[in-house]
Copies of this chain bind each other. A is one copy, B any other.
Amino acid sequence: MVTTERKVNFSAGPAVLPVEVLEEARENLLSLGNSGVGVMEHSHRGKEFVAVLAEAESGCRELLGLGDDWAVLFLSGGASSQFFMVPMNFLAGGVANYLDTGVWSSKAIKEANAFGQAHVAASGKAGKYAAIPTTADYKPGARYTHFTSNNTIYGTQWKSEPVVDSPLVCDASSDMLSRPIDVSRYALIYAGAQKNLGPAGVTLVVARKDFIASGASNIPPMLQYRTHLEHESCYNTPPCFAIYVMSLVFKWLKNQGGPVGIARYNEKKAAVLYDCLDSSAFWTTPAEKASRSLMNVVWRLPSEELEAKFVSEASKAGFSGLKGHRNVGGIRASIYNAMPIEGVQGLVEFMKDFERRNG
């Protein structure tokens, strides 16, 4: 067994997973339980994997409080595939409202315009996406309204859902299950797994069944949500192992007190880092305070040279993945659910020392 000490991994995604989850997955690679067949080697139609899938679904239902009128789907292709699947299913030449809060929203808007009109009801672009818009100009009669709940690159996050009168669709890839949400306000929520939910390779989609039923049926079956609902995510072979790991993450999350418990932890964790950033002019934070993300904390140092030195020295001290997104530069610490508070505290100690030496 490799016994290398684990780094504190601030990667924006794929990202750190709970050690308990990794250890349980490791135990089951050559034999899932006492089945004598590894977790990756079971038929997706065999009773062992059917049980894994059922556990993943019930875990998700419990954590989100979903009733029978909601579907839980395990798809593939990432959030990037949802950018076109959503308009392909629901836009049909009509108008949808889109809230532009950064790179990922912009991509979703671009894709939607191929299927109808993606009306940008509000955009943070003029303000370099430093803030979540507080007003919006919604088109009436929209098929849906799309927003990105957390913006990994600019480090901003919606504190509550936009208030709209069309079905609300959310890309929650980077803050899904990091806090409680009122699902009754949504029609469809999607999330690539590789931030808070599991490894890359599975996309969680939860949606109201009636919304799914309203989707297009003249598109390839694999691209219709209804296909995956009817076949319980097994129309074709699903990404079994990624779903398995997600089921372990759901179990772990329940042990953390579910969305309520983890939200309290995430707030505390983010406060440790933001308090440090706010304590000195050595650090600057581009995101406006009211819009700050609890998942991705971005900041700058006095120069790009110091930023490079910071990343390099942090890496040597055991803190990895701190380089900001190539679009914006600077520093980014992604502190998803699985990041322990001790990791953030350690980073803050390193930061204070770095400031003493370079400030």
Q: Any chain B CB within 8 A of the CB of A210?
A: no
* A237 contact from B9, B16, B43, B200, Cβ within 8 A: B200
Q: Any chain B CB within 8 A of the CB of A247?
A: no
* A22 contact from B1, B15, B30, B318, Cβ within 8 A: B30
* Chain A 1-39 per-residue mask, 1 if CB under 8 angstroms from chain B, else 0: 110111101011111110100110111111101111110
* A41 contact from B15, B41, B235, Cβ within 8 A: B15
Q: Any chain B CB within 8 A of the CB of A194?
A: yes
Show 21 residue pairs from A and B whose CB-CB distance is below 8 angstroms, ordered by the A residue. Answer: A2-B28, A4-B35, A11-B37, A11-B43, A14-B40, A14-B240, A22-B30, A76-B201, A77-B81, A77-B236, A80-B222, A80-B235, A81-B236, A84-B223, A111-B221, A192-B236, A192-B237, A199-B240, A199-B241, A201-B239, A239-B242
Q: Any chain B CB within 8 A of the CB of A187?
A: no
- Would A30 and B36 count as touching, CB distance under 8 A? no
Chain B residue with minimal CB distance to A25?
B29
Q: Which 3 residue pairs across A and B have the least CB separation, nearest first?
A: A201-B239, A80-B236, A7-B36
Bound-state CA distance A321–B42 (Å) is 9
- Would A30 and B23 count as touching, CB distance under 8 A? yes
* A26 contact from B4, B26, B238, B318, Cβ within 8 A: B26
- Would A200 and B239 count as touching, CB distance under 8 A? yes
Q: Any chain B CB within 8 A of the CB of A127?
A: no
Bound-state CA distance A31–B3 (Å) is 8
